[in-house]
Amino acid sequence: MSRYLFVILCFWFFAGAEIATAQVLTPSLSLFYFQNQSKRDYPDTTNTSDSLKTKETYTFLNLGVCYNISGFCAGLKYLQGELETKVSSPGNPSPSTAVFHGPGLTLGYSGAEGIVAHGSVLLGAKKSIEQSSTTYTCKSAYIIELGYGFKVSSVRIGPLLGVYQFTYNKKEVKCASTSLKPNEGDTFIMPQLAMWVDL
């Protein structure tokens, strides 16, 4: 709940700045949903039902608000993403969900002609795996986005390509913390559908 409160406060703060200076304020929303399934039969068994099935579901929500002055954009970002993995095999039916989340700062370009190019640094980002009570703390996390919005009145809708990079240097399992040496990481390249609203 506190994550969503943070997003609402950010929108209020930048809305107040927009009213005071009469510049362009641009809230944004991008979504990514994808499922990947695979199946592999066990070769050393006569039981045809013995197989390894893997299903991955990606659900990423990216909220932002940008203060735009002559194309230059500075603002705030919040990421909430989930990667659910279900592995069905003899003795291993349980799913696992990794949650990626964190607020960040954004700089970039958001032109009236529709081109959007943003870079965001996430502050205090984490990856949490609830099933194993495990939390990975990010040493660094950033998002690079390139997209194009087709204008309909004050709304722009279009494709957005995002590169998400997470590097972890600390792992906490049931309140026991250990350093990761070498660091671990996750990288996602996601084509998304995005919406920008020019207020």
- 27-39 pLDDT per residue, tens: 999 999 999 888 7
Nearest-angstrom CA–CA distance, 56 and 128: 16
Q: What is the pLDDT of residues 49-104, one digit of tens each?
A: 567 788 899 999 999 999 988 888 999 999 999 999 888 766 665 788 999 999 99
**Which of helix, strand or coil describes residue 153?**
coil
pLDDT at residue number 197: 87
| Residue 189 near residue 169 (C-beta atoms within 8 A) | no
With b for 16 or more beta-carbon neighbours within 10 A and e for fewer, the 132-163 pattern comes to: eeebbbbeebbbebbbbbeeeeeebebebebe
Q: How many CB atoms lie within 10 A of CB 124?
A: 11
| Residue 128 near residue 87 (C-beta atoms within 8 A) | no
Residue 135 lies in a domain: yes
Q: What is the DSSP letter of 17?
A: H
Residue 59 lies in a domain: yes
**Alpha-carbon dihedral sign for residues 199, 120, 185, 183:** negative
How many domains, the chain?
Answer: 1
> Which residue's structure tokens are 């995002």?
162
Q: Is the pLDDT of residue 110 over 70?
A: yes
Q: Is the pLDDT of residue 18 over 80?
A: no
Residue 124 lies in a domain: yes
pLDDT at residue number 70: 83
Q: Is the pLDDT of residue 17 over 60?
A: no
Residue 43 lies in a domain: no
Q: Is the pLDDT of residue 20 over 50?
A: no
pLDDT at residue number 9: 44
The chain-wide mean pLDDT, for the chain, equals: 82
Of the pLDDT bands very low, low, confident and very high (cuts 50, 70, 90), residue 175 is confident
The token duo for 178 is 């250990």
% the chain with pLDDT above 90: 50
- CA distances to 98, 113, 116, 165 from 126, in Å: 10, 35, 26, 12
Residue 67 lies in a domain: yes
Residue 96 lies in a domain: yes
Q: Is the pLDDT of residue 109 over 80?
A: yes
Pairing of strands 51-69, 24-41: antiparallel
Residue 124: name the closest of 145, 140, 107, 106 by CA. Answer: 140
13-22, 127-136, 181-190: which has the minimum mean pLDDT? 13-22
The pTM (predicted TM-score) of the whole model is 0.78
pLDDT at residue number 49: 58
Show the domain range for 168: 2-36+53-197
pLDDT at residue number 42: 62
CATH of residue 142: 2.40.160
Q: What is the pLDDT of residues 134-164, one digit of tens each?
A: 999 999 999 999 999 998 887 889 999 999 9
